[in-house]
Structure 1
Amino acid sequence: MLGPTSPLPDLARPDVGAALFSTWGVGTPERQRATVDALAHSWDSRPWPSPELFSQNVYVGMDGETLMHHAQWASEEAYLAFVRAQRQERVDEIDAAVPGIERHGIANYRRYRGFDTRAAGDPRVPGCIVVIKADFDDPAPELRRRWIDAVIEALETDPAPSPDLISADFHLIVDGARHLANDRAQVLNYAQWTSEEAYDAAIAADDPTPEWERVRHFPGFQGTTAKRYRFARSFIRP
Structure 2
Amino acid sequence: MTFESAGLPVIDRPDVTVALVEVVAVDGREGQRAATDAISAHWRSGVWPAELVSLSCYASTDGAWVLTYAQWSSDEALHGSLRQETGVSHGGPVWEAVGARPSGAVPFRLYRVVRGGRVTGTDPAPECFPAAVFPMAGEEAARGWIDGLLASEEATEGADRDYPGAIAANFHIGLDGGSVLVLSEWVSEKEAADHIEEVIQPLLDQAGGGDPGALYAHCLTLESPGIPAT
Same topology, TM > 0.5: yes
* Alignment of 1:234 onto 2:216: no
Match of 1:101 in 2: 100
Distance 2:199 2:108 in 1: 29
Q: Distance in 1 between matches of 2:46 and 2:64?
A: 27
Would the alpha carbon gap of residues 114 and 13 (structure 1) be closer, same or farther in structure 2, given more than 3 Å must change? Answer: same
2:119 and 2:166 in contact (8 A); partners too: no
The 3-state SS of whatever aligns with 2:71 is strand
CA–CA distance in structure 2, aligned partners of residues 150 and 22 of structure 1: 26
Alignment partner of 2:222: what SS? strand
Where 1:203 maps in the other structure, the secondary structure is helix
Query: How many angstroms does 1:190 deviate by?
Result: 0.7
Conserved 8 A contact 1:19-1:70:
yes
Which residue number corresponds to residue 184 of structure 2?
Answer: 191
Distance 2:10 2:26 in 1: 27
Identity percentage over the alignment? Answer: 28
Give the number of aligned pairs. Answer: 218
Taking a change above 3 Å as real, the CA distance of residues 34 and 11 of structure 1, as seen in their structure-2 partners, is same
3-state SS in 2 of match to 1:150: helix
1:120 positional shift? 4.6
Secondary structure class of the residue paired with 1:78: helix
Q: 1:38 to 1:170 in 2, by over 3 A?
A: same
- Runs (5+) with no aligned partner, structure 2: none
State the partner residue of 1:173.
Answer: 174
Cα distance change of structure 1 residues 4 and 17 upon mapping to structure 2, 3 Å threshold: same
In the alignment, which residue of structure 2 is the partner of 1:179? Answer: none
CA distance in 1, matches of 2:94, 2:200: 49
Q: 1:58 to 1:76 in 2, by over 3 A?
A: same
TM-score (norm 1): 0.77
Unpaired runs of 5+ residues, structure 1, are: 176-182
Q: Normalization by structure 2: what TM-score?
A: 0.80
Q: Tell me how far 1:226 sits from its aligned partner.
A: 1.2
Whether contact under 8 Å (1:115, 1:169) holds in the other structure is yes
8 A contact 2:53–2:223 mirrored in 1: yes
Contact preservation (8 Å) 1:124, 1:166: no
CA contact (8 A) 2:54 2:70 kept: yes
Select the structure of larger CA radius of gyration.
1
Which stretch shifts more, 119-128 or 8-17?
119-128
- RMSD over aligned Cα, in angstroms? 3.0
